[in-house]
Amino acid sequence: MVNIVLVEPKIAPNTGTIGRLCVNMGAKLHLIEPLGFEISDSRLKRAGLDYWHKLAPTIWPSLEDFLGAHGHERLWLATTKTEKPWFEADYRPGDWLLFGSETTGLPESLREAYTDRCITIPMTPEGRSLNISISVGIVAYEAVRQNFETFKGLM
């Protein structure tokens, strides 16, 4: 359906929850190192429940390696540093949805390279960010909504 890319994720339970989401929606998970945890972390597996063994995430040694392989494809960058709402993006099966680490977000250089592909989830002034698991769910299921006929074929 889509590819979920976590750039330098730091918190194992968030990644476990996102992995569980990926299995349930037919998405492929990509993790870009360095990770803030070990793949064998019990908190990761506990959050992913019995889904983690079905996931088979791709681990990339660096953002540069990932971009060398997929930087020419349809990337969507989730960030608080843009004005375009996530629901205005035109998602297609096979798109790549990128999310930055829980502490720093996506690198500025990446956002500048793909300015037209940056999307955001609007929030009130009192908030500064959402949990990454929630953000991935919001954006990924908009991609499902826009491509529901394809998604139904996975069920």
pLDDT digit string (tens) for 126-137?
988 899 999 999
Q: At what angle do helices 12-25 and 132-146 cross, to 10 degrees?
A: 10
For the entire predicted model, the pTM comes to 0.93
pLDDT at 54: 85
If pLDDT is split at 50, 70 and 90, which confidence band does 48 have? low
Quote the DSSP letter at residue 120: B
CA dihedral 36, 99, 112, 76 (to 10 degrees): 150
On whether the 3-152 domain is CATH 3.40.1280.10, my answer is yes
User: 100 is written with which tokens?
Assistant: 């930055």
If pLDDT is split at 50, 70 and 90, which confidence band does 150 have? confident
Domain segments of the chain: what residues?
A: 3-152
- Rounded Cα–Cα distance for residues 48 and 76 (Å): 24
pLDDT at 50: 72
Average pLDDT over residues 52-61: 89
Q: Which residue carries 């299921």 as its tokens?
A: 141
